[in-house]
Amino acid sequence: MAVTSPHSESVPRHVAIVMDGNGRWARKRFMPRGLGHKAGVDALVKVVQASADRGIGYLTVFAFSSENWKRPEEEVSGLMSLLLVALSKHLTKLKADGVRIRIAGDLANVSEKVRNALLDAEAATVGNARLTLTVAFNYGGRWDIVQACQRAIAAGVAADKLDEAALSRHMAMSYAPDPDLFIRTGGEVRLSNFLLWQSAYAELVFTECLWPDFDADELDRALAVYAQRERRFGDVGSSGQGEGGIGHALSASSSGNP
Ligand code: IPE
Ligand code: IPE
Ligand code: MG
């Protein structure tokens, strides 16, 4: 197993990616969209490895949205088959590399075969801790918030006790810190219903790069952008510290009253 580099502040603990652009990648090559999705799996395998090597603890990827059922039946069934093929091809290596696979999404409405393959992958890698790879499958941010409310109510949480922490405990990815870096490939500048709750303070990076072309160098570019960002979380940040702002200016010009 490769050695994980020590974690540094400028490396995000949790990276979330909307892997978009597979269809356009294929169209540019006069190939069917399905081959774009297949190339997308190859990109993902490399990015998982690169993420682990850089000390990222959590990688969450949008593989199939709750809205993707709207696509032609042929594409949807192709994506389901590709998931099964990808798991059987890559699971052994991912397991050996210390990757823990977790699934976020509504598995009640996927076929038994797909559901079992996803649950088997989770079970097979449960002992791993180097990198947690969450595959968001039949996932939607709104679905996640609604199911968290439902589960909290079912667990007996009273309305006046249903605060942010209580709801977070029932979100699909309650085991992970919130994403620090949210990347979307493929050029679209939107969230498309991914991790709406968890991304409240994620740094957003949008790139024109189509997902099958995304690699370790592209990841490094996104990480470099992230490292330059100042995260303020509503505070004034390092450049504002010590200036005192309006309160300081007012008290300085007053006659000494607080
Ligand atoms: C993202 O690529 C993969 C899935 C949604 C499953 P797309 O299939 O959306 O590719 P484009 O956006 O059409 O290029
Ligand atoms: C988001 O991409 C979903 C995944 C990458 C799985 P879409 O291609 O479905 O998003 P829209 O339709 O462009 O918003
Ligand atoms: Mg798309």
| Statement: residue 99 has pLDDT above 80 | yes
Active-site residue identified among 22, 42, 53, 68? 68
Considering the chain, what is the average pLDDT of its residues? 93
Ligand 1 atom closest to 19 (CA): 1
Query: Mean pLDDT throughout 214-221?
Result: 98
For ligand 2, which residues put their CB under 6 angstroms from it? 18-20, 62-65, 68, 188, 190, 192
- DSSP assignment of the chain, as one string? -PPPPPP-TTS-SEEEEE---HHHHHHHTT--HHHHHHHHHHHHHHHHHHHHHTT--EEEEEEEETTGGGS-HHHHHHHHHHHHHHHHHHHHHHHHTTEEEEEES-GGGS-HHHHHHHHHHHHHTTT--SEEEEEEEEE-HHHHHHHHHHHHHHTT--GGG--HHHHHTTSTTTTSPPPSEEEE-SS--S-TTSSTTTTTTPEEEE--S-GGG--HHHHHHHHHHHHHPPP-TTS--GGGTTT-HHHHHHHHHSSS--
Query: 0.75 cut: is pTM over it?
Result: yes
β-sheet bridge partners, residue 183 = 17, 205
pLDDT at 77 over 90: yes
257 is catalytic: no
% of residues, the chain, pLDDT over 90: 88
At residue 242 the predicted structure's pLDDT band, cuts being 50, 70 and 90, is low
38-66: per-residue pLDDT in tens?
999 999 999 999 999 999 999 999 999 99
pLDDT value of residue 45: 98
> How long is the chain?
258
Cα(20) to centroid(ligand 2), Å: 6
Domains of the chain: 14-255 (3.40.1180.10)
- Catalytic (active site) residue 193: no
